[in-house]
Amino acid sequence: MSFFITGTDTGVGKTYVTRLILEAMRNEGHDAVGYKPVACGDREDAIILSAASGGLDLDEINPIFLNTAVAPYVAGMLENRTVDPSVLLAGFHHLAAKHATVLVEGAGGWEVPLAANYRVADLAADLKLPVILVAANRLGALNHILLTLGAIRAKGLVCAGIILNQLEDEMDTAMITNKGVVVDLTGVPLLEHLIHGQDFLEVQVFLNL
Question: How many domains, the chain?
Answer: 1
Q: pLDDT value at position 209?
A: 67
Mean pLDDT of 28-53: 96
Res 207: pLDDT: 66
Mean predicted confidence (pLDDT) in 194-205: 74
Question: What is the average per-residue pLDDT within 108-120?
Answer: 95
Q: What is the CATH number of the domain that holds 89?
A: 3.40.50.300
Q: Which of 4-8, 27-31, 33-37, 62-66 has the lowest mean pLDDT?
A: 27-31
Over 70: is that where the pLDDT of 47 sits? Answer: yes
> Which tens digits make up the pLDDT trace of 133-150?
999 999 889 999 999 999
Kindly report the average pLDDT of the chain as a whole number. 92
- Rounded to 5°, the CA angle 109-115-118 comes to 65
Following DSSP, what letter does each residue of the chain receive, concatenated? --EEEEESSTTSSHHHHHHHHHHHHHHTT--EEEE-SEEES-SHHHHHHHHHTTS--HHHH-SEEESSSS-HHHHHHHTT----HHHHHHHHHHHHTT-SEEEEEEEEETT-EEETTEEHHHHHHHHT--EEEEEE-STTHHHHHHHHHHHHHHTT--EEEEEEE--SSS--HHHHHHHHHHHHHH-S-EEEEEPTT-----HHHHHT-
Write the pLDDT tens digit of every residue in 74-90.
999 999 999 999 999 99
Choice among 36, 128, 155, 179 that is catalytic: 36
Q: What is the pLDDT of residues 167-193, one digit of tens each?
A: 877 778 888 888 889 999 999 999 988
Domain that holds residue 16: 3-207
Tell me, yes or no, if 179 is annotated catalytic.
no
pLDDT tier at 25 (50, 70, 90 boundaries)? Answer: very high
- Residue 169 confidence (pLDDT): 74
Residue 172 has a pLDDT of 83
